[in-house]
Amino acid sequence: MRVTALLLVALATRAAAQQQTDPRIARLDTAARAPIAALLDSARAAGLPPEPLIQRALEGTTKGAPPDRVVAAVRRLADDLGRARDALGASTEALELEAGAAALRAGAAPAVLAQLRRARRQPLMVPLAVLADLVASGVPVDSAAAAVLVLAGSAHDADLVEFRRAVERDIALGASPATAATGAARESILDVNSSARTGSARPRRP
């Protein structure tokens, strides 16, 4: 019994040690390894997902970015993940936190994330990702946030993705990003309301 307990403790210690020393750290520039490892440890201690952080570090390293930029990007992302959790709640899932961090980085206010949490019972990864993607497409952050907030209460993930595609399509056709977002939001609301009434989706634009 005692031997079994000792064995379990040893295995747990080993697992913890392996978690602490992610082998992918070895791929980073030597100057970046220690600060990145420290950021990963801090994230784990704070209950934040470390995987997005190691991926940003690997991205910067693979692209040949200077170590100080890689560390700065990872630190910025860790801060964003923490801010996202503050806005979305302590029990927020990792995928939502990552999308929330992207939305914050795009310029959305933490209050928007909190409003989304209240407005939607379903997972928030897709609405947050759509918000970030719209801003990246040039839609003013206030317009993007307003549109996503309106849709988030009743739209399915697929509706939100279709909304984002419609905005991108209209921008590609020459509409201003704000106009494209407004028009697509109006259509998406009609779609969602129509689906709710009839139980079937309205035909979409090609």
Contact between 142 and another protein per CB under 8 A? no
Nearest in space to 157 (alpha carbons), one of 125, 179, 184, 109? 125
Contact between 75 and another protein per CB under 8 A? no
| Residue selected from 110, 123, 153, 183 as contacting another protein according to rule CB under 8 A | 123
Contact between 159 and another protein per CB under 8 A? no
Alpha helix (H) ranges present in the chain? 2-20, 30-45, 51-62, 67-88, 94-106, 110-119, 125-136, 141-152, 157-172, 177-198
First and final C-alpha spacing in the chain? 68
Name residues contacting another protein, limited to 1-30 (CB under 8 A).
Answer: 24
SS3 123: coil
Q: Which residue has the tokens 């979409």?
A: 204
Give the contacts of 179 (CB within 8 A, at least 6 positions apart). 170
Contact between 172 and another protein per CB under 8 A? yes
Give the contacts of 173 (CB within 8 A, at least 6 positions apart). none
Contact between 170 and another protein per CB under 8 A? no
Q: Which stretch binds another protein (CB under 8 A): 29-37, 66-74, 140-148, 189-197?
A: 66-74
| Residue selected from 73, 109, 114, 150 as contacting another protein according to rule CB under 8 A | 73
Pattern 80-109, another protein, x by CB under 8 A: ---------------x--xx--x--xx---
Rounded least distance, CB 62 to another protein, Å? 4
Contact between 33 and another protein per CB under 8 A? no
Residue 118, token pair as written in the block: 């209240």
Contact between 158 and another protein per CB under 8 A? yes
Q: Please tell me the distance from the alpha carbon of residue 181 to that of residue 179, in angstroms, as a whole number.
A: 5
Site for another protein, rule CB under 8 A: 24, 52, 55-56, 58-65, 69-70, 72-73, 76, 95, 98-99, 102, 105-106, 122-123, 125-126, 129-130, 132-133, 136-137, 156-158, 161, 164, 168, 172
